[in-house]
Amino acid sequence: MRAIVSYVLLRAALFIAPFAILVAAQVEWYVALVISLLFAFAASAVFLRRQKAAVSAEIARMRGERGHRDDEDVEDEAVDAVRATETDDESIDAGADAEDDAEDGTVATTTTDPDLVTDEDASAAERDDRTDR
């Protein structure tokens, strides 16, 4: 936290000092503002590199302590939870219903989300394809 506070104070000082000098020199306030902002930006980029790196490291450390997680990790956990709640009986029943519809003369279509298909389901489907031939 100390790195963040010192960086903010140094950036403020790089802005306030030229602004005060220009206003004291009777430069219009809006011109002094623009010149001070440009000076503060350029000076901080040149002189405060080490402090900026320390602030970045501090923020990264704080985010790590908070337990920040990527969207991909959250999505993977959700997919794994769905896989855990599914049972093989449900997938077998869905396949039998599709076969019954096809015998009635209607077109049987099934769609499967590839993220929700387990290796066991894929190997069972391959075995079924081989026995149908």
Tens digit of each residue's pLDDT (9 = 90 or more) over 30-83: 999 999 999 999 999 999 999 999 998 888 888 876 665 667 777 888 888 888
How confident is the prediction for the chain on average, in pLDDT? Answer: 78
Q: CB burial class (10 A; 0-12, 13-18, 19+) of residue 7?
A: buried
pLDDT exceeding 70 applies to what percent of the chain?
60
The Cα-based distances of 17 to 7, 10, 70, 116, 132 in angstroms read: 16, 11, 42, 61, 84
Task: Tell me the average pLDDT across 10-29.
Answer: 95
Q: What is the pTM of this model?
A: 0.46
